Chains A and B, each alone.
Chain A
Amino acid sequence: MRAAAIRAITSFLPGAVLSNQALADLYPNWSADKIFEKTGVRERRICAPDQTAGDLAEAAAQRLFGDHGVAPESIDFLMFCTQTPDYVLPATACVLHARLGLRPDAGALDYGLGCSGYVYGLGLAKGLIESGQVSRVLLLTCDTYSKLIHPLDKSVRTLFGDAATATLVEAKVCETPRIGPLVFGTDGTGAGDLIVPAGGFRQPSTAETGREVRDESGNVRTADHLFMNGPGVLSFTLREIPKAVDRLLALCDVTLEDFDAFIFHQANAFMLERLRRKLAIPQDKFVVRMADCGNTVSSTIPIALEPMMDEAKTQRIMLVGFGVGFSWAAASVTLH
């Protein structure tokens, strides 16, 4: 059969480091150790003021081309998952198409999902490849949430970091699918629980939206900044993700024991551990990789998956993305 498969993954982190100590200096009653204990994050990487999601994604793609001997002219389709595009229009994917030197007959598009975006991207790439429309998809992910976060909002600044990843998905002849089955889910009633309220066309930025307010927990933000209802996001996650995992297991007709590893969106260490225990996933199969980069939105899953690409053995891995929207997706992926 003609199956879509992950051939290579690379990541790119910007240079500036935001440490727990730097944050502890800003937030009274929070020590660097307490921030690590509560989030599982030691440091996050932050892009420069003049650095965009397009810049980071280009760097990740160039690294993929260089490290894996992939010619830009061999790419048939570019997908860019971002919620922090370079422009309102055109699509950043079109700009990246030119900067990366892709063929004129290669497609390019942006799609605006967050923490579920990588799994959705794999599903879309699989559809394009297995339907015979294209043979090679370059799937890029990047968000620069640091540009959306108020410096005095510890509820989100302690969690999020900037990063980009590039994944090459290509057609392969094999006996079983390499990507999939997949399951998807959406609950738009949770849109307000993780949102930048102003700056779009529903509520354009004005002097009023730029007015700072302090919430009951002491965090400061404006309507132009990222807002997260932490309890709402946790409730959604604990309610929906176990159901999505059960749906995926039923679709695959397997049990948890049949998977070699589990990579869930690296939201924060506390939420991950609660999910792991609720699902009874063994600790040694549950990948946690966020201490040195934080929650990088759509890039967390490929960042955790990247080191596993070097392992020679065939591995069946469950990927689960969930967050802003609310939107979620889970997939079974076989490497090698």
Chain B
Amino acid sequence: MSAFYDGLAEIFEIDADNISPEFDLVAHNWDSLAIVSTIALIDECYDKLVEGSALAKCVTVADVEALIHLAAAA
């Protein structure tokens, strides 16, 4: 998970230590640019494509991780 968390930290321009499952995306500028970057990050880390509309509904990192698990199971 560390490469994924490091990537998220880069997207939100914060220290990687601050990224956890409870991390609040919406409070950290969860806009279309962040969503685009996250789609690419998930593709790079897990070779899975998630839909932007589903990502946009995520509120926390845990929600994003649940989406990745769903994509992996599909």
Tell me whether B15 is interfacial, beta carbon within 8 Å: no
- The 8 Å CB contact of B52, one of A38, A229, A277, is A229
Check A231 against B49 for contact (C-beta < 8 Å).
Answer: no
Contact A235 B32 (CB under 8 A): no
CB atoms of B55 and A274 under 8 A apart? no
Which residues 29-58 of B have a CB within 8 angstroms of A? 31-33, 35-37, 39-40, 43-44, 49-53, 55-56
Q: Once bound together, how far apart are the Cα atoms of A239 and B47, in whole Å?
A: 10
In the complex, which residues of chain A have a beta carbon less than 8 angstroms from the beta carbon of B35?
230-231
- For B33, B35, B43, B55, the residue with the greatest tally of chain A CB atoms inside 10 Å of its CB is B33
Asked if A239 and B52 make an inter-chain contact with CB atoms under 8 angstroms apart, the answer reads: no
Q: Does A278 contact B (CB under 8 A)?
A: yes
A274 adjacent to B52 (CB under 8 Å): no
Q: CB distance B56 to A231 under 8 Å?
A: yes
- Contact yes or no, B32 A274, CB < 8 A: no
A63 to B73, CA, bound (A): 55
- Interface magnitude class on chain A: 10 to 19
Question: By DSSP majority rule, is chain B's interface helix, strand, loop, or mixed?
Answer: helix
**B27 nearest CB across to chain A (Å):** 14
- Of residues 114 through 149 on chain A, the ones whose CB sits less than 8 Å from some CB of chain B are none
Residues of A within 8 Å of B56, CB to CB, are: 231
User: What residues on A are CB-neighbors of B49 within 8 Å?
Assistant: 235, 238-239
* CB within 8 Å of B: which A176-232 residues: 215-218, 229-232
Task: Indicate if the CB atoms of A234 and B36 lie closer than 8 Å.
Answer: yes
- Given A232-B52, A234-B52, A238-B43, the answer on whether A270 and B31 have CB atoms closer than 8 Å is no
Q: Would you call A270 and B37 a contact (CB within 8 A)?
A: yes
- Which residue of A229, A232, A274 contacts B44 across the interface (Cβ within 8 Å)? A274
Return B63 CB to nearest CB of chain A, in Å. Answer: 15
Q: Decide if A38 touches B31 in the complex (CB within 8 Å).
A: no
Cβ B32 vs Cβ A238 within 8 A: no
Residue from A155, A231, A232 having most chain B Cβ neighbours under 10 A: A231
Find out whether the CB atom of B31 lies under 8 angstroms from the CB atom of A231: no
- A277 CA to B37 CA in the complex, in Å? 15
B32 touches A155 (CB 8 A): yes
Interface string of A303-318 (1 = CB under 8 A from B): 0000000000000000
Query: In the complex, what's the smallest C-beta–C-beta distance from A283 to chain B, in angstroms?
Result: 16
Contact check, B44 vs A231: say whether CB atoms are below 8 A apart.
no
Set of chain A residues within 8 Å of B51, measured between Cβ atoms: 231, 235
Within the assembled complex, what's the spacing in Å between the Cα atoms of A230 and B37?
10
Nearest-neighbor residue (CB-CB) of B30 within chain A:
A216
* Min CB gap A38→B, angstroms: 7
Among B37, B40, B55, contact of A238 (Cβ-Cβ < 8 Å): B40
Residue picked from A216, A234, A239, A271, most chain B C-beta under 10 Å: A234
CA–CA, A215 to B40, complex, Å?
A: 22
Q: Which of A220-261 contact B (CB under 8 A)?
A: 229-232, 234-235, 238-239
Contacts A239-B49, A270-B37 given; indicate if A231 touches B32 (C-beta within 8 A): yes
Query: What residues of chain A lie closer than 8 Å to B50, measured between beta carbons?
Result: 235
Closest to A218 in B: B31
CB-defined contacts of A238 to chain B, threshold 8 Å:
39-40, 43, 49
What is the distance, in angstroms, from A272's C-beta to the closest C-beta of chain B? 11
Can you report 13 residue pairs joining A to B where beta carbons are below 8 Å apart?
Answer: A215-B32, A216-B31, A229-B32, A230-B33, A230-B35, A230-B52, A231-B51, A231-B52, A232-B52, A234-B52, A235-B39, A235-B50, A274-B40
Q: Which residues of A contact B (CB under 8 A)?
A: 38, 155, 215-218, 229-232, 234-235, 238-239, 270-271, 274, 277-278
The 4 lowest CB-CB distance pairs between A and B, nearest first, are A231-B52, A217-B31, A274-B40, A230-B36
